[in-house]
Chains A and B, each alone.
Chain A
Amino acid sequence: MNRYLQTGASILGILLLFLPWMVGVDGLGPAGEITFGIFLLAAVYWVFEPIPIYATSLIVILLQVLLLSDQGVIDVSSDSYVPERYQVFYGALASPIIILFLGGFTLAAAAVKYGIDKSLTRLLIQPFGSNPKFVCLGMMLSTGLLSAFMSNTATTAMMMTMVIPVIAVLGPKDPFRKGVALSIPIAANIGGVATPIGSPPNAIALTALKEQGIAITFSTWMLLAMPLVLVMLVISWRILVWRFPPSKEPIRLDLSETFQWTRNATIAVWVFVGTALLWITEALHGVSSTVVAFIPLVVLTATGALSATDIRRYPWEVLWLVAGGLSMGVSLKNTGLAEWLIGLVAWENLPVFSIALLFVAVAYSVANLVSNTVTASLLIPLATGLGAAGALGPGASIGTLVLLIGIVVSFSMMLPVSTPPNAIAMSTQLIKTKDMATAGALVGIVAVALCVLSYLFFWPMILG
Chain B
Amino acid sequence: MNQVYVLCVDDDPEDLRQIEKDLAGIGESFPIEYAESAEAAQPIIAHRNEEGDVPGLIICAHVLSGENGVDFLIRVNSDLGFVDTRKMLITRNATFDDTIKGLNEGRLNYFLSKPWKSDELAQIVKEQLTEYFIRARKNPMPQIEALDSMRILDAIHKGLIPREV
CB distance from A153 to the nearest CB of B (A): 4
Which chain B residue shows the least CB distance to A163? B153
CB-CB < 8 A to A153: which residues of B?
156, 163-165
Whether B81 is near chain A, meaning CB under 8 Å from some CB there, is: no
Whether A3 is near chain B, meaning CB under 8 Å from some CB there, is: yes
CB-CB < 8 A to A113: which residues of B?
158
Whether B105 is near chain A, meaning CB under 8 Å from some CB there, is: no
Whether A371 is near chain B, meaning CB under 8 Å from some CB there, is: yes
Known: A151-B163, A423-B141. A3 touches B156 (CB 8 A): no
Known: A151-B163, A313-B159, A317-B162. A427 touches B144 (CB 8 A): yes
The CA-CA distance from A157 to B151 in the complex, in Å, is 10
CB distance from A337 to the nearest CB of B (A): 25
Whether A258 is near chain B, meaning CB under 8 Å from some CB there, is: no
Q: Are B158 and A424 in contact (CB under 8 A)?
A: no
CB-CB < 8 A to B164: which residues of A?
153, 420, 423
Whether B80 is near chain A, meaning CB under 8 Å from some CB there, is: no
CB-CB < 8 A to A160: which residues of B?
153
SS of A interface (majority): helix
Whether A315 is near chain B, meaning CB under 8 Å from some CB there, is: yes
CB contact between A158 and one of B140, B149, B157, B165 (< 8 Å): that residue: B157
CB-CB < 8 A to B144: which residues of A?
427
Bitwise, A76-111 to B at CB < 8 A (1) or not (0) is 000000000000000000000000000000000100
Within B119-165, the residues touching A (CB, 8 Å) are 140-141, 144-145, 149-150, 152-154, 156-160, 162-165
Whether A429 is near chain B, meaning CB under 8 Å from some CB there, is: yes
Q: Are A424 and B156 in contact (CB under 8 A)?
A: yes
CB-CB < 8 A to A315: which residues of B?
159, 162-163, 165
Within A1-36, the residues touching B (CB, 8 Å) are 2-3
Q: Are B158 and A112 in contact (CB under 8 A)?
A: yes
Q: Are B165 and A317 in contact (CB under 8 A)?
A: yes
Which chain B residue shows the least CB distance to A429? B145
Work out how many contacts link A and B, with CB atoms closer than 8 A.
66
Q: Are A373 and B165 in contact (CB under 8 A)?
A: yes
The CA-CA distance from A321 to B140 in the complex, in Å, is 21
CB-CB < 8 A to B145: which residues of A?
427, 429
The CA-CA distance from A373 to B164 in the complex, in Å, is 12
Within A424-455, the residues touching B (CB, 8 Å) are 424, 427-429
Which chain B residue shows the least CB distance to A109? B159
Bitwise, A339-383 to B at CB < 8 A (1) or not (0) is 000000000000000000000000000000001010000000000
CB contact between B153 and one of A3, A157, A313 (< 8 Å): that residue: A157
Whether A270 is near chain B, meaning CB under 8 Å from some CB there, is: no
Bitwise, A177-220 to B at CB < 8 A (1) or not (0) is 00000000000000000000000100000000000000000000
CB distance from B34 to the nearest CB of A (A): 25
Q: Are B160 and A154 in contact (CB under 8 A)?
A: no
Within A367-417, the residues touching B (CB, 8 Å) are 371, 373
Which chain B residue shows the least CB distance to A165? B150
The CA-CA distance from A318 to B163 in the complex, in Å, is 9
Bitwise, A53-69 to B at CB < 8 A (1) or not (0) is 11000000000000000
CB-CB < 8 A to A2: which residues of B?
1
Whether A166 is near chain B, meaning CB under 8 Å from some CB there, is: no
CB distance from B90 to the nearest CB of A (A): 29
Which chain B residue shows the least CB distance to A105? B159
Q: Are A200 and B159 in contact (CB under 8 A)?
A: no
CB-CB < 8 A to A53: which residues of B?
165
CB distance from A69 to the nearest CB of B (A): 26
CB-CB < 8 A to B157: which residues of A?
112, 154, 157-158, 161
The CA-CA distance from A313 to B163 in the complex, in Å, is 10
Whether A314 is near chain B, meaning CB under 8 Å from some CB there, is: yes
Whether A164 is near chain B, meaning CB under 8 Å from some CB there, is: yes
7 contacting pairs across A/B (C-beta < 8 A): A158-B157, A200-B165, A315-B165, A318-B165, A420-B163, A427-B141, A427-B144
Known: A154-B157, A420-B163, A423-B164. 9 other contacts (CB 8 A): A151-B163, A153-B164, A158-B153, A160-B153, A313-B158, A317-B162, A420-B165, A427-B140, A429-B149
Question: Which 8 pairs from chain A and chain B are nearest by CB?
Answer: A313-B159, A157-B156, A157-B157, A153-B163, A427-B144, A158-B157, A157-B153, A161-B153
